[in-house]
Structure 1
Amino acid sequence: MKVALIYNKDISGVINTFGMQNKEFYNEQTVKKVADSLEKAGHNVAVLDGNKQIIERLENFMPRVNEGEQMGMIFNMAYGIQGESRYTHIPSMLEMLGLPYVGSSPSGHALALDKVLTKIIWKNNGLPTPDFWVFNSHDEDMSSVKFPVIVKPKMESVSFGLKVVYNQEDLREAVHFIVAEFGQQALVEQFIRGKEFCVGLIGNSPVESFPVLEIDLEGDPDAIQTVDDKQGKPKRKVCPAHISEELSAKMQKISIEAFKALNLRDFARVDIRLDEDDNIYLLEINSMASLGETGSYPTAAKVAGYNFEALVNKMLDVASVRYFTNTLPQAEASKPVAKSNPTARMRTFIKTRQQRTEKLLKQLVDTDTYVRNVEGVNYCSGIISSELSQMGFTQEVHPQLEVGNILYFSNSFNQDVDYLIIQPLDNRIKLAKHENYNEQEQYLEGTGIWENKGGIAIFISALQALKFSRNLRKLKIGILLITDSSIDGRYSKAIIQQKTEKAKAVISLSGSSKSGGMILSRSGSALYRIETKLIKKDNPENVSATAMNFNKTLASITDISHNDSNNIIAPYNIEFTSNIFKMTAYGSAGISIRYNSPEKLDEIEKKIKKILAAQKRSKIFQVKIEGGLKRPAMAVSTKSKQFYDSICDLAKKIDVRISEEHRWSSADICHINKDMPIIDGLGPVGEYLPSDNERIIRHSLIERALLLALVLKY
């Protein structure tokens, strides 16, 4: 399942700083431990910062679900950034977006965070809670207050602002501090001398209670646990608590009733005070119980039989069952997390090396590999060669003077290979327009990063994962680096055909569309150049006639593909110059044809020749056309479709979205002339930008590397 873990890190990611600022944050090590626990269970996890960019982040990681796809989940660890009821902010947004999540609803969080409303609801449900008073200002009438009392903010957690007071003067000072510091009402609650406990809860129907945990106050009935205790040196925790089974069972029962009274979901922690006569008092309930490993909630869960990994995945499971009834059997939900999941281990390996993968990608993108820049192309090939040689690949060089050298790598030379990876390295972008690598939180940008260089980083990452899992040596893999893709494979065509003769299947890693497009077919390409020139210069009207005929000819040729969804004809680099006084006129234009079958190309060529036939007899102007086929069309074969179906099965297992796609652009794999399994588009998810730049979704480097590793493995 796809799981987006949301927490708060960048609290500056807002439009304005306004209202009460959050003081409660998760340690990043805890966030990482939760993510690792989910990954070890086989989930596809992304850790996202819950600020104003969260919607775009979520949309990139888990886009709209198509029919038949499994919906992902949000593991919400975001306490909010600022303002009132901050626990509700991310859940409210998720409700709007239509994304299921772990934890209580916005209304549940709002009630639990508001300690006054919580106590009112509990009292109305006959649940025991200390008497209380609420003050807006330190100068209000406080004559009804019975001391000692504990003063706290109305809507905070983690013991922020707690203070026990014994007289009215100290009470006024404490209320003034709360109102001024937290910008909210002060809750004044009867202080219960005695012991302190908490009860962890998990589940919905039924709600499961962990063993009661006692906060060791070292025998001091007047002691409390402050925020400094929790964040600095936490008080010792005793679990199970040293109380009678009857009292323990009563605390658990009351805690579950308190949970249900507020209509909370999935998990929570109830804080309890026990007076010296063993009377139970509910203090508050934390609807986002901390997962800090030394905290009360994970400590009690461990005693209940849930290690940290099992607890985290249990939380995800109970939320999933709530949303998707019966899709996750309850019996399976509580099982410990398996530690021998090879796919999860490979995913973790790929994620831990993401920084190195991105560093390699930066080197590739920052190198200008314009097709005529032989030095740059060869330098880039050298970077790749260095990475592959460390994994036991040797290379075969096919020297090229006009473009960079074409390289073939293999870990089993002179043998048939299981897979041949064909990957272009060059591009059409000259140095003046080359965009260097640019790193953003969600995206990586740069020339060639989507079309080819991201794919190179992915196959290196996938091969490293296979080596780590000791599967690489079992596979026979060939890698062909093409350096003339921008000029239609002029020099590589024969090499491609030669190498594919010894391969069982062919893979290319062109960039994938945002729908996860896997390319099973590509259009063929044909290029023509048409020229016209005025030859009869005895009348100025002939200049106009030449111009009019040139434009009419281009329009007629372009119109051949009108209403034809399988073929496209488009003119480019159109130029026309004329001078009435000198009586000169010259026009030229390229004509690009994308077609999907040889028969259709023949038909198009016949129509073009027919359009030009009458003009060649003209005595006013001369017309010339040259060009022809550059690459054949790649049609969907039965074997390619079967290959795609097998990849679909693997993608579903690791929650990576893919779809079948036809791409109008031609590519090097179009030169393969035998019926064999061919797939393209296994590269990163991304797109062309309005400029000549490209960008990819950062997380897709991980997803696609894992998918490729599994494709090669199985």
Structure 2
Amino acid sequence: MKIAVVYNRESQAVINLFGTQNREKYGLETIKMIREGLISGGHQVKTFEGDKNLIKKLEEFMPTVISGERPGLVFNLSYGIQGRGRYMHVPGMLEMLGVPYVGSGPETHALALDKVVTKMILLQRGLPTPKFTVLDTPDSPVTEDLKYPLIVKPKDEAVSFGLKIVYDEEELREGVKVIYETYHAPTLVEEYIEGREVNVGLLGNNPVQALPPVELEFGDGPQIFTYEDKKNKSGRTVEKVCPAPLTEEETEKIQQLAIDTFKALNCYDTARVDFRIDREGNPYILEVNSMASLGADGSFVYAADKIGLDYKDLMNRIINVTCERYFGAGFLAPTDEELQSTEVRLFNRLTKKRSLIETDLKTWTNISSRTEDPVGLSRIRKKLEDRLTKLSLIPVMEYTNGRSAWTFETKAGLKNGTLLVVPIDVPGDRTGFPIPFRTEQEWLYGEGIASSRGGIVTMLSALNALKEQKLLNKKNIGVLFYSDEGRGMRYSSSTIQKAAKEAAEVIILQPGFTDGKVVDQRRGTKQFSLIIEGDPIRIGKETESIDVLSSFIQNAEKIQSFSNRRKKLAVAVQDVRSERYSVLKPHRVYATLSITYIDEKLAYETEMAIRDLFKANAKGVRTNIEKLVERPPLIRQKNDPMLERLKELSDRWQLPFGTESSLLSSAAGEVGRSTPAVCGFAPASKGLYTPNESLHRSELVQRSLLLALYLNGE
């Protein structure tokens, strides 16, 4: 499970610093111990400051979960940066984000931090607390009949800030003045209870477990736990005794009062209630710490140790009770893998390793392999060959041309199995440095991340999951990767055609569409290079000859009439450039023309019409048309068994799924009509073939899971 430990220590990353600044901080050693304790429980843990950057960091660390996946969780240690309601800030942010977290909600922290409101709630519930009053200023009158000695403390501070015993009016006014000037807050004044101080830690929710009471023995000096005591600056050692030397009846009474207080303030997961017990044995509730200290020397940790929870066990027990509150009992309970179905084991493997999958994607994305870069292509080819070899796949030389297409297969072989096809080159006329990998909550960015890398990682993740379950070598699976997508598969198409005839079905790992849509129909593409040449013509010269640029423009306008939206035919001019001498008109024009289509007969007729249109029929004009790319379409099939199986798996595992038609050609067109094929099986994309190319983050694990389930074939 992903756990973010959130705390406040050094960062003051807010828009403006003003108001009451936080004085409470967890030590680095405690943060480290908590992190190590959670890691020992098998969790993936990162630590973050609870500042204005927290949302972005959590978005990167905790992507939106898929159905059935364990979500991330925040272990909240945040006391806030500033303001009187600082305990509430991080819980409030997490409530808004929909991120589960350890500890009470913002409303409980607001109540517990305001000691006066807490005492009013206690009195309303009939729970014992010392008599009190509130002085807004040093001159405010004491309206209650209180007996000295009294305790003064700020009404909404913690960690015993400003805590002091006063014995007369003069000391009272001086104590209130110090609090007023230091904390700019009203002062809580309550009767001092002569006797013993006992703390009770609480753990859990339903039921709430009261830990053994801890008594504080102060030795010499004030018989209260001061800020200086807590920070080891008082010069004395406050001893902890656990369990407190109380009778069984007294212990049960004080524990029940602690539980009643926990419930009265609607606390969650952990808290600590502080008591004073007078000389007659009567307990009085002093306050509630809704964020009980988890420092190794704190009374909460000390009491937990007495019931057999060492520090690591306690941290993981806190996670368990939090998960039980959010997700129900047994959410994190270990399960017997022997009793799980293969599909469940595949699901657990892939969802638990989502971060490793994203890390793998980052590694692949940061390797440049543009279509025109032979060095980069060689590097990525070797890396993929190494990964497939580690998966125990073996090369198939019959379907490898050694130049642009390579095929591997499992020990069971490709014949009558599933062929996975994925490009390794990044298409497009690209210049400059590659775009590096970066993360947002819903999208992952980087050069070729969707057009190539997403398919590679989806395939490898699914195959890894099958191998870990000792299933891969039993499955008839082949992997064909090619390096000339950017050249329209000019060199690899024949190899793919042969390999596809050997397989029973083909899955093309090109980008799909959002909402889990794969591609069941793609247009074919014809692309042509056109060169028009003529004699140089001086500007302003009267001549019967037309310059080549004007000739091209006239014919280019006619091309638009060939397109037919209803028949899914589009004709376009993609690139144009010209050459000329000095002040003369252009004497040569280069252009790239393309046709996208579904109907192959109509596409052929359109090609002939274009060739006829650009025949040299003007004096001094010469033309040449060369076909650069011809990629067949993928035609939608009725009652496709592959789509039916994928739909059934998606429904069972609550994965988004659908079908879509695409205007872009792919390797799917090279698969013979007699072999079932599905394209767009890689995660959805945005900005494909642009510097802003991105891949849908959740679909990375969704697609990996669906592919693994499909290849498993149960």
Shared fold (TM-score, shorter chain, > 0.5): yes
Aligned residue in 1 for 2:383: 383
Q: Secondary structure at the match of 1:27?
A: helix
Alignment of 1:667-678 (within 5 A): 667-674=666-673, 678=677
**TM-score, structure 1 length as denominator?**
0.75
Q: Percent identity?
A: 25
Residues 101-250 of structure 1 correspond to what in structure 2 (within 5 A)?
Answer: 105-132=105-132, 134=134, 153-157=154-158, 159=159, 161=161, 163-165=163-165, 187-192=188-193, 193-198=195-200, 200=202, 202-203=204-205, 208-217=207-216, 222=223, 224=225, 238=242, 250=253
Q: Deviations over 1:416-471 (max 9, x none)?
A: 37543322111235674241645568676542233223443454455445444444
Q: 1:256 to 1:701 in 2, by over 3 A?
A: same
Quick check: 530-539 or 75-84, which moved more? Answer: 530-539
Sort the Cα spacing of 1:488 and 1:691 in 2 relative to 1 into closer, same or farther, 3 A: closer
The equivalent residue for 1:338 is 335
Check if 1:315 corresponds to 2:322. yes
1:82 is paired with a residue whose SS is coil
Judged with a 3 Å threshold, the aligned counterparts in structure 2 of structure 1 residues 310 and 96 are, in CA distance, closer, same or farther, namely closer
Give, in angstroms, the shift of residue 269 of structure 1: 2.2
Q: How does 1:477-488 map to 2 (within 5 A)?
A: 477-488=477-488
Per-residue Cα deviation, 1:127-151 (whole angstroms, up to 9, x for no partner): 3223345566779889998555555
Listed one character per residue, the Cα deviations across residues 134-184 of structure 1 (whole Å, up to 9, x for unaligned) are 566779889998555555554445x36374545578878876776677665
Residue 272 of structure 2 is aligned to residue 273 of structure 1: no
The change in CA–CA distance for 1:50 and 1:488 in structure 2 (over 3 A counts) is farther
Aligned residues: 681
* CA deviation after TM superposition for structure 1 residue 573, in Å: 1.1
Corresponding residue for residue 285 of structure 2: 282
Name the amino acid aligned to 1:377.
Answer: L
Q: How does 1:311-710 map to 2 (within 5 A)?
A: 312-319=319-326, 336-338=333-335, 340=337, 342-343=345-346, 346-347=349-350, 350=353, 353=356, 357=360, 361-362=362-363, 364-396=364-396, 404=403, 406-412=405-411, 416=415, 418-428=417-427, 432-435=431-434, 437-438=436-437, 445-511=445-511, 515-532=515-532, 540=542, 550-558=552-560, 560-561=562-563, 568-576=570-578, 586-595=588-597, 597=598, 599=599, 601-603=600-602, 605-606=604-605, 609-610=608-609, 613=612, 616=615, 618-619=617-618, 625-627=625-627, 630-637=630-637, 638-649=640-651, 652=654, 660-674=659-673, 678-681=677-680, 683=682, 687-688=686-687, 692=691, 694-696=693-695, 708-710=707-709
Deviation at 1:382, TM superposition (A): 1.8
Q: Is the 8 A contact 2:203 2:318 kept in 1?
A: no
TM, length-normalised to structure 2: 0.75
Change (3 A) 1:71 1:13: farther
State the AA in 2 paired with 1:382: K
Instruction: Give yes or no for contact 1:437–1:444 (8 Å, CA) kept in 2.
Output: no
Q: 1:149 to 1:521 in 2, by over 3 A?
A: farther
2:351/2:701 contact within 8 Å kept: no
Shift of 1:187: 4.4
Alpha-carbon distance change, 64 to 14 in structure 1, aligned in 2, over 3 angstroms: same
1:469-497: per-residue Cα shift (whole Å, max 9, x none)? 44444445432221112112222222223
In 2, distance between residues paired with 1:22 and 1:541? 89
2:296 matched to 1:296?
A: no
- Cα distance in structure 2, aligned partners of 1:682 and 1:153: 62
Partner AA of 2:285 in structure 1: L
Deviation at 1:82, TM superposition (A): 1.8
Distance 1:579 1:217 in 2: 97
The one-letter code sitting in structure 2 at the alignment partner of 1:269 is A
C-alpha distance after superposition, 1:574-615 (max 9, x if no partner): 2356799856555443233333x3x2x533553565577567
Which structure: larger Rg? Answer: 2
Per-residue Cα deviation, 1:357-382 (whole angstroms, up to 9, x for no partner): 36xx43x4454423233333122222
Which is further off, 616-625 or 667-676? 616-625
User: Could you tell me how far 1:273 is from its partner in structure 2?
Assistant: 0.7
Does the 8 Å CA contact 2:197/2:216 hold for their aligned counterparts?
Answer: yes
**Superposition CA RMSD, Å:** 5.3
The answer to whether the Cα contact below 8 Å between 2:196 and 2:276 also exists between their aligned partners in 1 is: yes
- 8 Å contact kept, 1:650–1:710: no
* Preserved contact between residue 368 and residue 376 of structure 2 (Cα < 8 Å): yes
Aligned equivalents of 2:37, 2:440: Cα separation in 1: 21
Instruction: Report if aligned partners of 1:399, 1:405 keep a CA contact under 8 Å in 2.
Output: no
Gaps of 5+ in 2: none
CA contact (8 A) 1:511 1:684 kept: yes
SS of equivalent to 1:15: coil
For residues 70 and 696 of structure 1, the distance between their equivalents in structure 2, rounded to whole angstroms, comes to: 22
Aligned equivalent of 1:27: 31
Distance 1:339 1:609, change over 3 A: same
SS of equivalent to 1:481: strand
Gaps of 5+ in 1: 321-327
Please state whether the residue corresponding to 1:433 is helix, strand or coil.
coil
Distance 1:236 1:648 in 2: 57
Q: Is the 8 A contact 1:435 1:693 kept in 2?
A: no
Contact 1:515 1:657 in 2 (8 A): yes
TM-aligned CA distance change 1:549 to 1:181, over 3 Å = farther
